[in-house]
């Protein structure tokens, strides 16, 4: 019978746990702010609060720029370029008061962020 040390068992258990929840390990509270902005903007779009939506998108962009280095390390080139493209399309749609396009854009941004953080 093979004896396994306590240390080896702990390492194995931690490896298994970490492997199952890498998204939670990579996403910090500061990263969660990006997802929170998306949720707020979705509500504002539903309520047709277009000026507030544009202000929040500018704040989102600033937060995104602060975390871009991490997003670039975790994601693929296509993912973060698509986020930036969707942000620009969203701003145009919000200026046109286009609720459907804004909701689609926010869902695309949220999806791309989820893909990046949940490796």
Helix (H, G, I), strand (E, B) or coil at 115: helix
Angle at which helix 77-95 crosses helix 50-74, to 10 degrees, equals 170
Residue 39 has pLDDT above 50, yes or no: yes
pTM: 0.76
Angle at which helix 50-74 crosses helix 99-117, to 10 degrees, equals 20
d(CA 87, CA 17): 34
d(CA 60, CA 26): 19
pLDDT band with cut points at 50, 70 and 90 for residue 12: low
Query: Which of 7-11, 26-30, 63-67 comes out lowest in average pLDDT?
Result: 7-11
């Amino acid at each position: 019978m093979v004896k396994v040390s306590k240390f080896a068992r702990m390492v194995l258990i931690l490896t298994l746990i970490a492997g199952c929840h890498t998204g939670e390990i990579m996403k910090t509270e500061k990263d969660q702010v990006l997802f929170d902005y998306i949720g707020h903007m979705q509500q504002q779009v539903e309520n047709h609060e277009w000026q507030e939506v544009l202000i929040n998108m500018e704040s989102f962009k600033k937060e995104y720029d602060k975390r871009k280095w991490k997003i670039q390390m975790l994601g693929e080139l296509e993912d973060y370029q698509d986020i930036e493209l969707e942000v620009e399309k969203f701003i145009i749609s919000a200026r046109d008061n286009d609720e459907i396009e804004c909701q689609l854009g926010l869902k695309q941004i949220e999806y791309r962020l989820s893909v990046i953080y949940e490796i």
